[in-house]
């Protein structure tokens, strides 16, 4: 019995790969987890009460698109954060943003463009679901370097016209995982112009928008609205996993134009898994509250400052503009990850597990990704061990 060919070249997912690399080796000291982007800051204190009050909601099938209350809370947040008014028919609640990223591509990518196989553009390195979504719809994934040379964001405008004219979707992640780059207003505006010129959609993954160093990152919703761009041509994704420190809640949202949203919602109604009702109630309260977000941001900003002090004067160290990761150059990311684990117990992720080989070059292979998710003192211990082991 055959298996589908389209996923046959997929590498193992990053974390099983990491377990394969490290788990046969004893850690050099008490382990410190800096590999997964799982925030360890406190979740909002109202969560337990809301869950208890709404526990009966597990007895009913939840609304597919989100309760009116949740959609209203999201729309309120978008308006406060970006100054953009969104009707509820432009928003859908997600059962974790990852499924939304995948399913939106399924709903929005056409089978062909001008009679040719479509292309889906993505940065390299990148959050891995982008590539799997491209393969699932039969498109050709094109991995575009997002390295020091390009300001850690993809330079889509530099691609040949024959690629751009076959492009149906392009992913952009800002703040970027893993590089920590933030797309400026000009970058986003130019990208909208490019997508207009070549008639493709933008899918903007802005899950890390509330974790930033100097200023709140601009969002595609605000730039699109300011330019009067066609809202059907871009979709924006957000998550409570990072904003509210609740990766286990599995809650986010997608926003786009009404027709694109209708297509995403229709697919969801057949094949999707909506968020359970009590969890929609929790999500609603999270989007309405900013105090817990500000408290968490202060902790990240303190850790950025601490990392800058610990690595002061070390070649290649760069603070991210946003997000929760350091993206550090090393000789060989896999070898460095293994050495670090065996000598110090610090667990990080090799950059190559988030990037692809293109023409013999893999832009992540000489990097490690370091998650600043643990409490401050544990993060400090981890970073000092890392510096002394790899940058000493």
- Least distance to ligand PLP, CB of residue 122, Å: 11
Conformational region of residue 270, where left means phi above 0, alpha means psi within -120 to 50, and beta covers everything else:
alpha
Q: Please report whether residue 239 would count as binding ligand PLP according to CB under 6 A.
A: yes
The separation between CA 99 and the C-alpha centre of its own chain, rounded to angstroms, equals 12
CA-based nearest residue to 153, from 321, 316, 10? 321
Q: How far is the CB of 129 from ligand PLP (least distance, A)?
A: 7
Residue 241 sits in the site that holds ligand PLP (CB under 6 A) = yes
Supply the minimum distance, in Å, between the C-beta of residue 192 and ligand PLP.
Answer: 20
What is the distance in angstroms between the CA of the first residue and the CA of the last residue of the chain?
A: 53
By the rule CB under 6 A, 245 interacts with ligand PLP: no
Residue from 125, 247, 272, 350 that binds ligand PLP (CB under 6 A)? 247
Query: What secondary structure does DSSP assign to 102-114, as a single string?
Result: HHHHHHH--S-BT
What single DSSP character describes residue 359? T
Output the six-digit token pair for 381: 């211990």
Residue 183 within binding range of ligand PLP, rule CB under 6 A: no
Minimum Å distance from CB 179 to ligand PLP? Answer: 11
- Would you say the C-alpha torsion 36, 39, 40, 43 has a positive or negative sign? negative
Beta carbons of 67 and 284 less than 8 angstroms apart: yes
Q: Segment contacting ligand PLP (CB under 6 A): 91-99, 106-114, 182-190, 378-386?
A: 91-99
Largest alpha-carbon pair distance within the chain? 58
Closest approach of Cβ 275 to ligand PLP, in Å?
Answer: 11
Total site size for ligand PLP, rule CB under 6 A: 13
CA–CA distance, 41 with 184 (Å, rounded to integer): 28
Tokens of 129: 């679901």
> Scanning residues 298 to 327, which ones bind ligand PLP (CB under 6 A)?
none
Judged by CB under 6 A, the residue of 96, 217, 224, 333 near ligand PLP is 96
User: Could you tell me the smallest distance in angstroms from the CB atom of residue 117 to ligand PLP?
Assistant: 26
* Selected binder of ligand PLP within 37, 154, 218, 333 (CB under 6 A): 37
Question: Where on the chain is the footprint of ligand PLP (CB under 6 A)?
Answer: 37, 96-98, 127, 173, 177, 205, 207, 239, 241, 247, 252
């Amino acid at each position: 019995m055959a298996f589908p060919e389209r996923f046959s070249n997929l590498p193992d997912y990053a974390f099983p790969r990491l377990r394969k690399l490290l788990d046969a080796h004893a850690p050099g000291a008490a382990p410190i987890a800096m590999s997964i982007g799982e925030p360890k800051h406190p979740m909002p204190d109202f969560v337990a009460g809301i869950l208890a009050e709404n526990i009966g909601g597990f007895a009913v099938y939840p609304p597919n698109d989100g309760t009116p209350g949740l959609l209203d809370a999201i729309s309120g947040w978008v308006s406060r954060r970006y100054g953009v008014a969104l009707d509820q028919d432009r928003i859908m609640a997600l059962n974790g943003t990852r499924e939304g990223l995948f399913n939106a591509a399924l709903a929005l990518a056409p089978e062909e463009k001008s009679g040719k196989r479509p292309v889906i553009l993505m940065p390299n390195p990148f959050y891995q679901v982008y590539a799997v979504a491209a393969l699932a719809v039969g498109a050709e994934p094109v991995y575009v370097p997002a390295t020091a040379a390009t300001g850690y964001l993809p330079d889509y405008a530099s691609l040949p016209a024959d690629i751009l004219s076959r492009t149906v979707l392009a992913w952009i992640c800002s703040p970027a995982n893993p590089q920590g780059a933030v797309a400026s207003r000009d970058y986003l505006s130019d990208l909208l112009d490019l997508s207009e010129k070549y008639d493709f959609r933008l899918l903007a993954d802005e899950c890390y928008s509330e974790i930033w160093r100097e200023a709140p990152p601009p969002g595609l919703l605000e730039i699109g609205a300011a330019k009067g761009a066609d809202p059907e041509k871009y979709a924006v994704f957000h998550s409570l996993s990072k904003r509210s420190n609740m990766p286990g809640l599995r809650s986010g949202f997608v926003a786009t134009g009404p027709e694109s949203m209708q297509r995403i919602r229709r697919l969801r109604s057949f094949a999707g898994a909506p968020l359970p009702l009590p969890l929609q109630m929790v999500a609603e309260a999270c989007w309405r509250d900013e105090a817990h977000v500000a408290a968490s941001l202060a902790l990240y900003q303190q850790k950025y400052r601490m990392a800058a002090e610990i690595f002061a004067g070390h070649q290649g160290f760069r603070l991210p503009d946003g997000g929760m990761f350091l993206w550090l150059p090393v000789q060989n990311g896999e070898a460095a990850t293994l050495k670090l684990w065996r000598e110090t117990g610090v667990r990080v992720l090799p950059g190559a597990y988030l990037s692809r080989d293109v023409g013999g070059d893999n832009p992540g292979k000489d990097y490690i990704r370091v998650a600043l998710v643990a409490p401050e003192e544990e993060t400090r211990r981890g970073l000092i061990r890392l510096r002394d082991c790899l940058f000493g």
